[in-house]
Amino acid sequence: MLTRFKERIQALLGTEARLLHKAGFTPNKISAIGILFAVLAGCSYWAWALEKNNLFILLGAILFLLSGFWDALDGIVARLYGETSVFGGFLDSLLDRYADAFIFIALIASRLWDPISGSGALVGSLLVSYSRARAEATGVKMETVGLAERAERIIILVVASLIALFKIEAISWSAIILAILTNLTVLQRTIFFYNASKQR
């Protein structure tokens, strides 16, 4: 859904992208920083289990947002300076999956997420991305199809993390919401692909 605003977001982040490129950051280096923030976010969520301090949840949300921010910048830099490549796109997508998986597993391990709903969210998240990759490999564009693409998943978890500062149950609700929405998105993409393939 939010992917529809991709061009507008890219225009807003153009200045930051130019500054990073001027400082010597390549798209792959920016991708590496994005995954680093994701790992730190996962560690922060997991640290909550040790200290039971809700500030770890807030820190995890901030780090997850930073991960998404850097993830957006790598593609902008690549397009602005003609540094796009097949491998770069592959690496970016691969690191996004690792980032999501690391954070979701950390939430399950910390018991902030129930193992069942958390596993549903994890599987659904991975299949949302896989369904797009598999469809686009056959020439069917899947961008913007579905309720819970990566941007929406980040926002849901971040908002739940902020609410959890006052009501800890909110973080567990996010697992249920993500489990439902991601798997619904997979269903939407399956139907979309079915209709598109019939027209060929």
As given in the structure block, the two tokens for residue 187 are 């269903």
| CA dist list (Å): 6 to 13, 86, 87, 158, 169 | 11, 20, 21, 20, 32
Q: Which residue, 100, 96, 1, 111, is CA-closest to 48?
A: 111
Q: Which residue, 188, 184, 182, 156, is CA-closest to 170?
A: 156
Backbone phi, psi, residue 144, to 5°: 80, -5
Residue type, 82: G
Contact 108, 115 (CB under 8 A): yes
For the question of residue 71 being annotated catalytic, the response is no
Find the radius of gyration of the CA atoms of the chain. 17
DSSP H/E element including 157: helix 150-164
Which of 71, 74, 92, 96 is an active site residue? 96
Residues involved in catalysis: 96
